[in-house]
Chains A and B, each alone.
Chain A
Amino acid sequence: MRKQHWIEVGVGAFMLFGIVALIFLALRVSGLTLDRNEPSFTLTASFSNIGGLKPRSKVTLAGVVVGRVTDIQLDTKWYEAKVTMSLEQKLEGLLSTDTSASILTAGLLGENYIGLTVGAETDVLEDGDEIRDTQSALVLEDLINKFLINSTKD
Chain B
Amino acid sequence: MIGLDSLARLGRAGLALMAALGRSGVLFFQAVWGWPSGQGVKLWMRQVHFIGVLSLIIIVVSGLFIGMVLGLQGYSILVGFGAEQALGQMVALSLVRELAPVVAALLFAGRAGSAVTAEIGLMKATEQLSSMEMIGVDPMRRIIAPRLYAGFVAMPLLTAIFAAVGILGGMLVGVDWLGVDEGSYWGTMQATVDFRADVINGMIKSVIFGLVVTWIAVFQGYDLVPTSEGISRATTKTVVYSSLAVLGLDFILTALMFGRI
- Chain A residues engaging chain B, CB cutoff 8 angstroms: 4, 7-8, 10-11, 13-15, 17-19, 21-22, 24-26, 28-32
Q: Indicate which residue in B45, B53, B199 contacts A29 across the interface (CB closer than 8 Å).
A: B199
Residues A11 and B48 in contact, CB atoms below 8 Å apart? yes
Residues B157 and A24 in contact, CB atoms below 8 Å apart? no
Would you call B189 an interface residue if the criterion is a C-beta within 8 Å of the partner chain's C-beta atoms? yes
Residues A8 and B163 in contact, CB atoms below 8 Å apart? no
- The residue in chain A whose Cβ has the minimal distance to the Cβ of B88 is A29
Shortest Cβ gap from B80 to chain A (Å): 14
Residues A11 and B49 in contact, CB atoms below 8 Å apart? yes
**With contact pairs A8-B45, A14-B52, A29-B189 given, residues A22 and B167 touching in the complex (Cβ less than 8 Å):** no
Would you call B122 an interface residue if the criterion is a C-beta within 8 Å of the partner chain's C-beta atoms? no
When distances are taken between beta carbons in the complex, the residues of chain A under 8 Å from B45 are 7-8, 11
When distances are taken between beta carbons in the complex, the residues of chain B under 8 Å from A22 are 156-157, 160, 199, 203
Total of A-B residue pairs, C-beta within 8 Å: 75
Shortest Cβ gap from B157 to chain A (Å): 3
Q: How many residues of B contact A (CB 8 A)?
A: 31
- The residue in chain A whose Cβ has the minimal distance to the Cβ of B164 is A21
Cβ contacts A to B, 20 pairs, < 8 Å: A7-B45, A7-B46, A11-B45, A14-B48, A15-B157, A17-B56, A18-B157, A18-B158, A21-B161, A22-B160, A22-B203, A25-B96, A25-B160, A25-B163, A26-B199, A29-B167, A29-B189, A30-B194, A31-B191, A32-B195
Given A4-B42, A11-B45, A21-B164; 4 other pairs, CB 8 A cutoff: A22-B156, A25-B96, A25-B164, A29-B163
Q: Which of A17, A19, A25, A30 has the most CB of B within 10 A?
A: A25
Would you call B125 an interface residue if the criterion is a C-beta within 8 Å of the partner chain's C-beta atoms? no
- The residue in chain B whose Cβ has the minimal distance to the Cβ of A107 is B83
What is the CA–CA distance of A21 and B189 in the complex, to the nearest angstrom? 16
Would you call B190 an interface residue if the criterion is a C-beta within 8 Å of the partner chain's C-beta atoms? yes
When distances are taken between beta carbons in the complex, the residues of chain B under 8 Å from A31 are 189-191, 193
Residues A10 and B53 in contact, CB atoms below 8 Å apart? yes
What is the CA–CA distance of A18 and B154 in the complex, to the nearest angstrom? 9
Q: Indicate which residue in A7, A11, A21 contacts B163 across the interface (CB closer than 8 Å).
A: A21
What is the CA–CA distance of A21 and B53 in the complex, to the nearest angstrom? 15
Residues A17 and B191 in contact, CB atoms below 8 Å apart? no
- The residue in chain A whose Cβ has the minimal distance to the Cβ of B158 is A18
Residues B193 and A29 in contact, CB atoms below 8 Å apart? yes
Residues B56 and A30 in contact, CB atoms below 8 Å apart? no
When distances are taken between beta carbons in the complex, the residues of chain B under 8 Å from A11 are 45, 48-49, 52-53
- The residue in chain A whose Cβ has the minimal distance to the Cβ of B54 is A10
Shortest Cβ gap from A15 to chain B (Å): 6
When distances are taken between beta carbons in the complex, the residues of chain B under 8 Å from A30 are 190, 193-195, 198-199
Residues B191 and A14 in contact, CB atoms below 8 Å apart? no
When distances are taken between beta carbons in the complex, the residues of chain A under 8 Å from B156 are 18, 22
What is the CA–CA distance of A90 and B163 in the complex, to the nearest angstrom? 37
When distances are taken between beta carbons in the complex, the residues of chain A under 8 Å from B167 are 29
**With contact pairs A26-B199, A29-B96 given, residues A18 and B160 touching in the complex (Cβ less than 8 Å):** yes
Considering only residues 145-202 of chain B, those with a C-beta below 8 Å from chain A are 153-154, 156-158, 160-161, 163-165, 167, 186, 189-191, 193-195, 198-199
Residues A7 and B49 in contact, CB atoms below 8 Å apart? yes
- The residue in chain B whose Cβ has the minimal distance to the Cβ of A36 is B195
Would you call B92 an interface residue if the criterion is a C-beta within 8 Å of the partner chain's C-beta atoms? yes
Q: Which of B52, B53, B153, B158 has the most CB of A within 10 A?
A: B53
